[in-house]
Structures are given as structure tokens and as C-alpha cells.
A and B are shown apart, each in its own frame.
Chain A
Amino acid sequence: DARVTQTPRHKVTEMGQEVTMRCQPILGHNTVFWYRQTMMQGLELLAYFRNRAPLDDSGMPKDRFSAEMPDATLATLKIQPSEPRDSAVYFCASGGPPQGGGSYNEQFFGPGTRLTVL
């Protein structure tokens, strides 16, 4: 049963600390998305990658957030330094390509990382 995995599932940290969240997309998927979900803002797209290259990171605060794909099986989202307003659930999703049995129309979401910054 292929699924997107995310680690850690929960993270509590203090303001100013670095936070790294990891995502393993479904094998064969070549598009990876990072979302942030809060009660106030709902679901926001932070960044996404295709074939490990960033396509759009306009939703991400550039001064403290960074996203990378060191290889096809790992995507990372880093916050440095973290602030209380970063408290949210961060989701990773993957999708495509059609020739790999996937679909660019459907995104498969991981279970999320719940981040609390004190």
C-alpha cells in the first residue's frame, strides 16, 4: 500500500530553534508539494517541486523557510529560526507522472507534521 510518509508527526520546539520536516513521496511520483494548514488561513501551498527542481515557492516566507529535494525519495522543509506564528500542521503531498501509473490530477497527502513553536 503505497503512501506518503512524513516525519516527525509531532514537534514541539522553542522560538528561535531550527525545525526540519521530512517527507518521502510515493515511489515513482515526480511532483512534491508542501502545504501548511491553520484554522485561520486554511490550507496554503508553500512550495512544490517537479523532478526535484523547485517550480514555485512563492507561498513560502523566504527569510526563514527553505525547501529542498536532496534526492527523489526525500523532500525537506526547514524553518530557521522558528516563530510561534509558524505553529501549524505541515502536509506533504506527491503526484504524477501519468506514465508512471500516477496522475497529475490527483495528489496523495501524507499524515502531516504538527508543529508547535512556544
Chain B
Amino acid sequence: QVHLVESGGGVVQPGRSLTLSCAASGFTFTNSGMHWVRQPPGKGLEWLAVIWHDGSTKYYADSVQGRFTISRDNSKNTLFLQMDSLRAEDTAVYYCARSCAGDCFGAFFDYWGQGTLVTVSS
């Protein structure tokens, strides 16, 4: 079955960097677009970034454009999110999610990881 497992979260000071990873299994990773979505404590969902199955195309939310970088290593079935110049408002649970496959094709999310908490605080 499909498994997405995020790692790399923790407490980081404002202005510093952090890289999240998402290990994928149970499906053909090289065929799937992948996303990062975050959720501040007690608040709603915010889409952050997408990367095409082959890494050729990336889109970002305005809130993270220029500070966050999405990437993938298809040889290791792993998705990454490099986060630079972190701010207090970046504090959230970060989820990786797969673009829908099969009948549900496109930029909806049919599988999600369990999330990893990033806390930006001095």
C-alpha cells in the first residue's frame, strides 16, 4: 500500500534553514507529481509547492516563493523541501502528498503522509 513518511521537522531559530524529507513507497514514485502542504496549529490547510514526476516543473505558493525549494530524488523515492529564511509564521505541520492517480487524475491529493512539525522560535 501507499506510504508517505515525512521527517526532518523540529525546532529552528528564525532566519535559519531546515530540510524536510518524504520517503515514498508502495507506488511508482517516478510516475507521480508530489506536493507539500502545511497546517499551522489550530488552523487550516495551505498548499506550498508541487514538483512534476520528472522534476521538470515546479510551482510555489507566493508565501514561500524564493525561500522554499521543492526537489526529488527518484532513485531514492524521496521528496524534499528545503526551507530557508524561516519565520515564526512558518510554524506548522508539514505534509507531503501525492497527486491523484487513476480516475482521480490531477492536482488533488489522494495520499498524505502523517506530517512533521516545524516550530520556528528563538
State whether these chains interact: no
- Hey, which bits of chain A sit against chain B, CB under 8 A? none
